Chain A
């Protein structure tokens, strides 16, 4: 069952390269439905029988590569499949006026999914490296799809930053192989110690992955890339792509070599996260372009994920578990909310014809559903009850209190306020009645997609017990 999730996207990617334009769109949705069913079936299997491994090619580690599927992996797989379907429906309608881009959007879309599934499932360091490269190339390809000057410039900066990050990661892999002689994460985890090569390898890999997750101060490449891309592309990038390198970072710090990482280093990561929240929100507040505002909001929200490290390393088991649950929920809620926000902004930009925040007047009257979806997702981003974002922040706050690190408590609250600040800036303008320019009609399906994702972000608040149960979280570990 596990390899099916790798085979489906690769097969559909090949057909999308081979077939002419019309059939590509036809096969897109069935393929994604197939993938969602496969990931749900795997989730049920994991929920019933617990984590399971799969030896590719029948070779056991250390020679072969094993895929490892546990609660956390399966949650991410289902998240990827669900967001991919909604973005695909949105893209089918949205890309109708981009004939050239349509031809090459779908192969890159499927390769992106193949690499994401590969990264969630992989249990081998070098396999993660090749998965990261495939992910980076597809993402850069999608950013540069329109071929316009700003998107090309953003794609080049994104590619250079990501390649630098990958080399940092590969240098770490080289050091670990030099010391342990194997590349399987499970094997290294058993015999890992705090010797110099392991610590330097973890440090190099962390810097590389921070660069790929665009954590402050290495976030310079994200806003132009996510802000300038087509709406479904920025939704996919902000919701899923940046999370992949964070997932590997969490895997390294908490699974591979827990004792090689000092609590002081974890505090440093927390500080970077706090910096991301404050700086990202401040930049978002000062943006005049709507998509750039949402892109900087991504930079800010990614900071919350960094609190996983200070709150779970060197703290009590209960605090660590709360921190882990809070981070997972935040990851899910942010994925839904940010994707919904980018899709709704895409619809707004289609209707208005421009992206500047100042003259959003009359939007509430002409394009109400899109604005409503934007509002719902903003509720989750701000962390207001009953949204998923609120539960996530609530768990993080509890964990901060339990572990006595009050400074993270303060930062999380400030973050929520600043998010509210830059979101209300958009609302203040859009509820002004008289509209100075006419609105282009937009397809109803675009609003439906944005609304489904926004509703999912809010609904997560009510059912956040499901993903947490699915993960049967062992304190501090990924189950």
Chain B
């Protein structure tokens, strides 16, 4: 069934928000110069992708545990990536690098 726009579908709306976040964060990732801000842009881009994944999967047939489990794995992997990047960043700054 194709969705007519009168029925405002909140899942699809959040998928669109996720897409907007992905694009905005992608722009910021390339443009921002300090490495920490690039990392924040990466995190927000990841959240955008997660919103898209859950939103697109659920806007037609309601809450679906599989994408939610994938996104849970994604959040934990994103935290591991952020922690790793921060370890490298701190070591780089401590040994005299410019963040």
Contact = CB atoms under 8 A, between A and B. Distances in A.
Chains A and B touch (C-beta atoms under 8 A apart): yes
Interface of A: 63, 126, 130, 133, 137, 140-141, 144, 147-149, 152-153, 155-156, 159-160, 163-164, 167, 170-171, 173-175, 177-178, 181, 183
Contact of B85 (A141, A159, A181): A159
Given A152-B91, A155-B88, A171-B22, A164 B52 contact: no
B99 to A, nearest CB: 10
Contact of A149 (B15, B77, B81, B92): B92
Contacts of B80: 133, 137
B58 to A, nearest CB: 10
Interface in B23-65: 29, 35, 38, 42, 45-46, 49, 52-53, 56-57
A331 B9 CA distance: 48
Is chain B's binding surface mostly helix, strand, loop or mixed?
A: helix
B4 interface: no
Nearest to A175: B56
Interface of B: 15, 22, 29, 35, 38, 42, 45-46, 49, 52-53, 56-57, 66-67, 70, 73-74, 77, 80-81, 84-85, 88-89, 91-92, 95-97
Which 4 pairs across A and B sit closest by C-beta, in order of nearness? A178-B56, A174-B53, A152-B92, A174-B52
Contact of B49 (A133, A156, A160, A167): A167
With most chain B CB atoms within 10 A of its CB, the pick from A147, A148, A160, A174 is A174
A106 to B, nearest CB: 19
B95 A152 contact: yes
A140 B49 CA distance: 23
B91 A147 contact: yes
24 contacts: A126-B70, A126-B73, A133-B81, A137-B81, A137-B84, A140-B88, A147-B95, A149-B95, A152-B91, A152-B97, A153-B92, A156-B35, A159-B88, A160-B85, A167-B42, A167-B46, A170-B49, A171-B52, A174-B49, A174-B53, A174-B56, A174-B57, A175-B56, A178-B57
